Amino acid sequence: MTITWRIHELAVARANTLEDMNEESTHAESTLTETMVARIEIQELGDPANQKQITDAVQALDGVIEFKIEKGALHVSYDALGTTEKKIEEAIRSTGNTVKAAATDTETPHPDLLAHANMNQAQKDAHDDESA
């Protein structure tokens, strides 16, 4: 075995190790999320054009997973590492609307949002298993 070949083997082994470490840190980062759920009451939410402005503004935020308008409130599921309730409220206010009340929780998402988020996670997990 020549010295050149041995250097090549060491370089390839190091590159493979770095690649494995990169994959592990990416997986670790993806598990470092905390899904939060905000229920935000907005004045005059009933107008469809107004609803579209609001949902477009909220959807544009990083970290927003799902949203739904129901019973006079906007329900938003979001990653706490990507955005905050305050940023969501600011996005709503930027459309000229008034936030009447807001509450955030980590455990009680809107049932429709929870079911959809669980389905998305299951699909992602299945895809990750196929890729591995």
Whole-number pLDDT of residue 38 = 93
Output helix, strand, coil percentages for the chain, rounded to the nearest 5. 55, 20, 25
CA 35 to chain centre: 8
Spell out the domains of the chain, with CATH numbers in brackets: 35-131 (3.30.70.100)
Say what the pLDDT of residue 19 is. Answer: 59
For residue 103, pLDDT over 80 is answered with yes
Highest mean predicted confidence (pLDDT) among 19-23, 40-44, 127-131: 40-44
User: Rounded distance, CA 61 to CA 55, Å?
Assistant: 10
